[in-house]
């Protein structure tokens, strides 16, 4: 199992390449956000900052509602995640284990949700939400995010469930445990890493959603990070420093979040469950 020298060389140079491809743009953005404006747009760009200023961040946090955007984004993403998991888990279990008329048709129908250009439902959804008074509420975003994340979540959870050995479940059934108990007490803990991946997927999808948030939200204080960020781009003038500070500030919260839960996402995907 020892690697030969060329093999090691290939491995580490490959890793370095990937590191550069992913890391360099972020390095430039983060270092750019502390450069003075003249250096940001300099004709000959600098790899390492030659100047230091916090003016962009000061402007970002003093004159925009960025903190509010952050709170909104996190709130919307959290609620979307919880509701998605709560809806997807039983549905996935039913599709996976239970027999009922129309099961296969319904399952396919759910996956077909991705066969529609999302833009097409934008206007009807706006009309629908207006009728029930949901325009300019964060609830509307939660509803949309859940709807878009559900099909994929059901599908992922179903495949995680399929990794659970049938014997474990059968033992519980013989013991006479009701389906609710089997799902919550036996299956859910077994596929916990899988549930974590689904949750993180939903969280990120909600965190990055732009199109619907830009149309459904009207007031500045209810905007999410992507829309608030788009707002500081401005029409006739671009303040690159402010944008880079915004890009940095929009990245840091998810990076912090990922520092805590990131490994769950990966282990959930890769381990899925006990095999």
121 vs 186, beta carbon nearer other proteins: 121
Cβ-based nearer residue to other proteins, 189 or 206: 206
Q: Which one among 50, 54, 127, 185 touches other proteins, defined by CB under 8 A?
A: 127
21 binds other proteins (CB under 8 A): yes
With CB under 8 A, what is the number of residues at the site for other proteins? 120
Please answer whether residues 125 and 196 qualify as being in contact, where contact means their C-beta atoms are separated by less than 8 angstroms: no
CB-nearer residue toward other proteins: 160 or 189:
160
Query: What does the DSSP assignment read for 108-176?
Result: HHHHGGGGS-GGGGHHHHHHHHHHTT-TT-HHHHHHHHHHHHHHHHHHHHHHHHTTS-HHHHHHHHHTT
Tell me how far CA of residue 6 lies from CA of 13, 15, 17, 19, in angstroms. 10, 14, 16, 20
Does position 5 interact with other proteins (CB under 8 A)? The reply is no
What is the C-alpha separation between 125 and 135, in angstroms, rounded? 10
DSSP 38-59: HHHT-SS--SS-S----HHHHH
List the interface residues with other proteins, window 219-248 (CB under 8 A).
219-220, 225-227, 229-244, 246-247
Under rule CB under 8 A, which residues in 178-217 are in contact with other proteins?
179, 204, 207-208, 210-211, 214-215
State yes or no: residue 154 binds other proteins (CB under 8 A): yes
- Tell me which residue of 242, 244, 146, 237 sits closest to 198, measured CA to CA: 146
Is 97 a binder of other proteins (CB under 8 A)? yes
**Site for other proteins contains 124 (CB under 8 A):** yes
The CB-of-2 to other proteins minimum distance in angstroms stands at 11
Provide, rounded to whole angstroms, the least separation between the CB of residue 189 and other proteins: 18
Q: Which of 95, 84, 110 is nearest to 198 (CA)?
A: 84
CB-based contact 205:146 (threshold 8 Å): no
Q: Are 259 and 194 in contact (CB under 8 A)?
A: no
Residue closer to other proteins by CB (options 192, 204) is 204
Q: How far is the CB of 79 from other proteins (least distance, A)?
A: 14
137 near other proteins, judged by CB under 8 A: no
Residue of the chain from 93, 141, 191, 199 that contacts other proteins (CB under 8 A): 93
């Amino acid at each position: 199992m020892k690697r030969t020298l060329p093999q090691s060389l290939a491995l580490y140079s490959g890793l370095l390449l990937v590191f550069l491809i992913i890391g360099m743009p972020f390095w430039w953005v983060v270092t750019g956000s502390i450069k003075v404006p003249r250096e940001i747009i300099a004709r000959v760009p600098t790899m390492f900052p030659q100047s230091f200023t916090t003016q962009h961040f000061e402007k970002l946090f003093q004159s925009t509602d960025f903190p509010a955007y952050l709170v909104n984004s996190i709130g919307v993403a959290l609620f979307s995640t919880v509701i998605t998991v709560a809806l997807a888990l039983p549905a996935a279990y039913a599709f996976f284990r239970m027999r009922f008329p129309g099961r296969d048709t319904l399952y396919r129908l759910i996956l077909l949700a991705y066969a529609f250009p999302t833009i097409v439902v934008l206007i009807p959804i706006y009309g629908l939400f207006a009728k029930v008074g949901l325009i300019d509420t964060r609830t509307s975003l939660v509803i949309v995010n859940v709807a878009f994340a559900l099909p994929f979540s059901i599908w992922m959870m179903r495949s995680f469930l399929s990794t659970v050995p049938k014997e474990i479940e059968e033992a519980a059934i013989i013991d006479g445990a009701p389906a609710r108990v089997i799902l919550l007490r036996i299956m859910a803990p077994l596929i916990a890493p899988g549930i974590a991946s689904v949750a993180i997927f939903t969280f990120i999808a909600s965190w990055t959603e732009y199109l619907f948030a830009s149309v459904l939200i009207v007031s500045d204080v209810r905007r999410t990070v992507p829309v608030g960020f788009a707002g500081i781009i401005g029409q006739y003038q671009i303040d690159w420093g402010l944008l880079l500070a915004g890009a940095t500030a929009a990245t840091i919260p998810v990076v912090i979040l990922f520092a805590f839960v990131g490994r769950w996402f990966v282990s959930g995907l890769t381990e899925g469950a006990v095999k």
